[in-house]
Amino acid sequence: VFLKAEAEECIAALPPHVLLQRIFVLFPDPWPKRRHHKNRIMQANFLQALADHAKSGADLCFRTDDAAYFSSAKAVVEAHPAWGVAPAPWPFERATVFQSRAAVFQSLVAMRRETFSKL
């Protein structure tokens, strides 16, 4: 299922029994100005909301063309107890409009840990 919606609202609206197996966050707004970084989606609270609705072993696939955002997002994922960066390949390639416009981009795949303590 593909859904175009405000991600945080969508996750919050999911019933508790709905569990996700694979989540894609593709080319989100990098909010490049430092004072706007608080608006970035890849933050601990969003990762926690995803973890609450993700099966154990679920994949979180993140891709961006902003190198600074990639570094920041990777650090947030690595620091979160529910997610670990996995040495997994990207699940498949289907170029988005943003990807086709990007000269370069970076990707990471994180895996939902089996057990974790909530933040």
Give 91-113 pLDDT, tens digit per residue. Answer: 887 777 877 888 889 999 999 99
Taking only the tens place, the pLDDT of each residue in 49-88 is: 999 999 999 999 999 999 999 999 999 999 999 999 988 8
| Res. 4 pLDDT band, cuts 50 70 90 | confident
Q: Among the residues of 1-119, which ranges form H helices?
A: 7-13, 44-52, 67-79, 97-101
Q: Does the active-site annotation cover 29?
A: yes
Question: 29, 52, 65, 66: which one is catalytic?
Answer: 29
* Per-residue pLDDT tens over the stretch 11-50: 999 999 999 999 999 999 999 999 999 999 999 999 999 9
Radius of gyration of the chain (CA): 14
Detail the DSSP E strand segments found in 14-119: 20-26, 54-64, 83-86, 106-112
| Residue 51 exposed, middle or buried by CB count within 10 Å (0-12, 13-18, 19+) | buried
